[in-house]
């Protein structure tokens, strides 16, 4: 898996965190530097940690799954991508009621937006990819996109929040299809 693939996956995974950051800023919760830092740092940290955990779980199974690992990676990416697309198309109002950059709310949002990265880590283990570079890239890109989304959210409101999830889901579906295509080419 090349650098461009890793960057594309990182951007796809960062969409959830960016959407939450955008909504937090649009809702007026990212007013000071501390709140902005907490959002970007926690989202980036959890997005870094979850692929490592998934990879660790997957390493023990690689030798057993080598014959169909590309289908497992495709399935995981398709599941995550489809879930993101459906979430992005949901008409329910996702307005935040309390400051998402504090306490257990921050931890819960960090875990919820990084669960997809756990599946990616498992996929990377099956593809026998060293986890440290992709995890660092995912964490850094997530933090940077969260910061950018906060800046946008402060100026544009929640106009693009749900659409970002759809784009992220489509990116993950594309990567899954590419993995299967490369296996048979």
pLDDT, tens digit, for every residue of 125-134? 888 889 999 9
pLDDT tier for residue 52 given thresholds of 50, 70 and 90? very high
pLDDT, tens digit, for every residue of 71-125? 877 887 787 778 767 877 776 655 445 666 788 878 887 887 888 888 889 888 8
- The residue with greater pLDDT, 68 or 148, is 148
For the entire predicted model, the pTM comes to 0.71
What is the spatial distance between Cα 151 and Cα 155, in angstroms, rounded to a whole number? 7
- The domains of the chain are located at 3-184
What is the spatial distance between Cα 185 and Cα 180, in angstroms, rounded to a whole number? 9
Q: How far is CA 54 from the centre of its chain?
A: 13
Q: Which residue has the tokens 């697309």?
A: 85
pLDDT, tens digit, for every residue of 168-185? 667 778 877 887 888 787
User: Residue 69: what pLDDT?
Assistant: 67
pLDDT tier for residue 163 given thresholds of 50, 70 and 90? low
- Range of weakest confidence among 3-7, 46-50, 61-65, 143-147: 61-65
Residue 55 has pLDDT above 80, yes or no: yes
């Amino acid at each position: 898996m090349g650098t461009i693939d890793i960057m594309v996956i990182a951007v796809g995974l960062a969409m959830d965190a960016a959407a939450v950051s955008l909504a937090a800023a649009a809702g007026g919760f990212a007013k000071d530097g501390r709140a902005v830092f907490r959002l970007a740092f926690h989202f980036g940290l959890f997005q870094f940690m979850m692929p490592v955990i998934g990879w660790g779980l997957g390493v023990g199974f690689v030798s057993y799954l080598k014959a169909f690992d590309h289908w497992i990676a495709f399935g995981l990416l398709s599941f995550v991508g489809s879930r993101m697309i459906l979430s992005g198309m949901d008409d329910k109002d996702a307005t935040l009621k309390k400051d998402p950059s504090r306490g257990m709310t921050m931890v819960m949002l960090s875990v919820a937006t990084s669960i997809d990265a756990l599946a990616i880590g498992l996929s990377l283990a099956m593809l026998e990819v060293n986890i440290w570079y992709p995890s660092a890239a995912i964490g850094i890109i997530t933090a940077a996109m969260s910061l950018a989304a906060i800046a946008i959210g402060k100026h544009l409101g929640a106009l693009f929040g749900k659409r970002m999830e759809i784009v992220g889901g489509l990116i993950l579906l594309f990567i899954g299809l590419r993995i299967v295509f490369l296996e048979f080419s």
